[in-house]
Amino acid sequence: MKGFEAMIQPAGGSGEWPGTELATVARTGHMTGTRSYMAFSFLAREAGRVQICGHRGYSLHYPENTLQAFQAAKSWGATMVEIDVVLTADDEPIVLHDLTVDRTTDGHGFAADLTVDRIRRLDAGSCFHPRFAGVRIPTLSEVFDWAKREGMGLLIEIKEAERPDLAADRVMSHVAATDMVDQVVLISFDHVVLKRAVKRHPGIRTEAITHARHADIVGVLRACGASSISIELDMFHPDDGHALHAAGCSNRVSVPRPEQLAEYWRGGRDPLPNLVQWIAEGLIDAISGDDVPFIAKLVERAGRAG
């Protein structure tokens, strides 16, 4: 397994950009020379490839949910990124996983109690690594501008707990304003929120997140009007992949971080051969993870990179 681990490591073996390139991404959130992106379907059989999703961007080596992490994800092969949205005190949607700013910034408190101007002054990079000092929490508007310019897909998870319907409505306002309905999927663990969003905004694609294997996985999606499901690798079964595709639905499988996979390897177990086989057989439509070069190499190894 060490040979495979070495094979997937970027230059330098750390997943980091060398020299001035790293400085450029850290400072501006933009990487020069990245490939252009074409419109895509979320079904692998229609897209002719498996989509590669950076979970909160390339969050293994960049501050999560920042423009820098998103641009790095694209540069290492991602075709879309999963982001999280909450609302500020003045109802501005911002890209933040937690309800509070404590874990990822130098600030304190609930985002819902802070204005967007206050949140924009927080440092969202130093807590991750000193070289990212000055990186900011982006607004959803900024991320839409970036995705539109770079042609990237956005999977937008509603993390807002107190006003989830308003958060979904604000997301959809940005979708309409930017004409990005083909690039956006609204996702949530709260399937009731998804059901209400579909009712209020016909035509929006939604994805239900689950950490369980359901007896009727297609029924779960039909109940909330979703067309895709996000599931962890240890809960994915090829029978469910077949059932979803027969119903015209897609799936996204999340791969654990390297340190979690290492526990399997130390125990003489390896979930990757099955995963690569399922990708090669067209049973998986998108693969998601924090380590973008790693998951991109899995897709390439399966011959489904397009």
Tell me the β-bridge partners of 209: 230
Cα distance between residue 278 and residue 86, in whole Å: 34
Residue 236's contacts (CB-CB under 8 Å, 6 or more residues apart) are 213, 251, 253, 278, 284
The one catalytic residue among 30, 61, 97, 201: 97
- The answer to whether 214 is a known catalytic residue is no
The one catalytic residue among 55, 61, 191, 201: 55
How crowded is residue 175: how many other Cβ atoms within 10 Å of its Cβ?
Answer: 21
Cα distance between residue 206 and residue 226, in whole Å: 5
As given in the structure block, the two tokens for residue 163 are 């006003």
Cα distance between residue 271 and residue 253, in whole Å: 13
Comparing C-alpha atoms, which of 35, 46, 49 is closest to residue 77? 35
Cα distance between residue 138 and residue 100, in whole Å: 15
Do residues 95 and 137 lie in contact, with contact meaning Cβ atoms separated by under 8 Å? yes
CB hemisphere CA count around 243 (13 angstroms): 16
Do residues 243 and 229 lie in contact, with contact meaning Cβ atoms separated by under 8 Å? no
Pairing of strands 286-289, 250-254: parallel
Helix (H, G, I), strand (E, B) or coil at 64: coil
- The answer to whether 245 is a known catalytic residue is no
Q: What is the Cα Rg of the chain in Å?
A: 19
Comparing C-alpha atoms, which of 143, 99, 77, 128 is closest to residue 288? 77
Write out the catalytic residue numbers.
Answer: 55, 97
